[in-house]
A and B are shown apart, each in its own frame.
Chain A
């Protein structure tokens, strides 16, 4: 076997993937860790010198960076929760035998195929002063007079809304797949035992959807922490720097040639994504086992 194995399954076939992945992904990630501790600048791109924790001292004293860090965490957690709050009920409704079920699934999933740029511009038109949203509210007699994209807190809410609008459908699809995997006998049996609809949901549906929850939360969290296009298109971090997130702030630092500084910010983002993903996954897997 071993001789035959080694001739029939030559490791040569793994080399192209290893080479591309090592040079264009692993190398930059590893180099990024080192460069975060240097005064690297684009004007002297091949001549960085070690400056210890200086970059981290600078960024953690920079209120704009702190703001973009907290914005990123807010964005990731709120969008993650909202996608489940909207996506799960949709999935529960769309397993029922409805006449327009196919059409509804298609419509709700559709935004997921559009580019965040398109959705960003679209929402920017919806939230102009006296635009569709205001007209809609006026119809119910509500006159806000709010400049949605002109002030920090509402602008951030609009940015979050674009993301939720785009990805709720994908969340719904993942839950639908989980729901279709639950055998109907379970519900039959519990009905005979006299379980109420709520008890069925609490004791059958939720525990058996545990792995779907893990997928949804993980995907949303990683996507949310890395958010770039929504902010870049809709507000470009403004007004002021109230909607700045890590990815857009890194892009700005890169634009001004401060490569060491932006590497340090990139490292913060990397640690954040890796740590939170592992923590969340560990927690959810434990929960899955308990169930």
Chain B
């Protein structure tokens, strides 16, 4: 009996390992392709390069604007997250501590944003009126606006688990609203803030919709610069592959370092969503 069970498990494991090739093979073709000569890369075979062309990478780094767009992506992602986390946690703290018609109304008002998608055309007009088109500020504000609803839901759930006695003790020690929130509550939110950041950061980093509508080539993000590069060098697959591999490095490094947290962050975000 035990033997039969074991043999079934072995079979399952072997089958799954073969299936995982569906993910691995395309990635390998890309990595190998990024080190081939143009002619060899265009054959799209899974064979390793016959000559290793590391110079593909130096060419891409020099010509692709990849460094600048990496900087752009970093600016947009970091500031969008910062803004979202600070304003959402502050709002969530008040909304879940107060039990009034007003705070309930606010909560429902924020919930609308969980279902309704944004209206890109009128968003563009709002940015134009405020003279924010083509600026990082505009994209950062929209990212924050889109992600505030989910963040408030996530943070509110967590704040409910923080005992009110803490607030009262702080009040006796002479804390006002701001000090209570900034010095006492915010540090306690660390676990939920990290899952929130993980859940949102991939979406913001990988998004092309906002930058394509609201930014020009100068300020384009990493994924868009990859798309632009692809349009320019579509016949030189070795360069295109090298460009993709470089642009994937930051996310892959983050993934390998923080895989456990990414999966749990994705989970808690999805559950709240």
Contacts and interface: CB of A to CB of B under 8 A. Distances in A.
B26 A114 contact: no
B186 to A, nearest CB: 11
Interface in B238-261: 240-241, 244, 247-248, 251-252, 254-255, 259
Contact of A14 (B94, B146, B226, B227): B94
B33 interface: yes
Contact of A118 (B87, B123, B176, B247): B247
Nearest to B33: A125
B20 A104 contact: yes
Interface in B89-129: 90-91, 93-95, 97-98, 102, 106, 109-110, 112-113, 115-126, 128
A121 B94 CA distance: 45
B106 A135 contact: no
A35 B87 contact: no
A126 B102 CA distance: 55
B90 A229 contact: no
A74 interface: no
B267 A132 contact: no
Contacts of B77: none
Contact of B255 (A110, A122, A174, A262): A110
A28 B123 contact: yes
B141 A251 contact: no
Interface stretch (A75-83, A151-159, A185-193, A266-274): A266-274
A103 B267 CA distance: 19
Interface residues of B, number: 94
Contacts, number: 255
Interface string A242-281: 0000010011001000010011001101100110011000
Nearest to B13: A98
DSSP class of A's interface residues: helix, strand, loop or mixed?
Answer: helix
A32 B206 contact: no
Contact of A126 (B44, B86, B113): B44
Contacts of B178: 13
A25 B113 contact: yes
Nearest to A247: B209
A263 B121 contact: yes
Interface stretch (A2-10, A59-67, A141-149, A202-210): A2-10
A125 B237 contact: yes
Contacts of B266: 112, 170, 173
B271 interface: yes
Contacts of B98: 5, 9, 11
Contacts of B209: 228-229, 247
B78 interface: no
A18 B91 contact: yes
Contacts of B180: 8
Contacts of A225: 117
A24 B270 CA distance: 24
Contacts of A270: 116-117, 119
A289 interface: no
A284 interface: no
B226 to A, nearest CB: 5
A12 interface: yes
A12 B181 CA distance: 12
Interface in B70-91: 83, 86-88, 90-91
A36 to B, nearest CB: 9
B45 A13 contact: no
A49 interface: no
A160 to B, nearest CB: 15
Contact of B90 (A16, A97, A177): A16
14 contacts: A7-B177, A24-B126, A93-B16, A106-B259, A107-B20, A108-B20, A113-B252, A113-B255, A135-B44, A135-B45, A177-B271, A219-B273, A232-B227, A263-B122
Given A9-B94, A29-B118, A173-B266, 9 more contacts: A10-B177, A12-B177, A14-B106, A17-B152, A18-B106, A131-B44, A132-B44, A222-B117, A270-B116
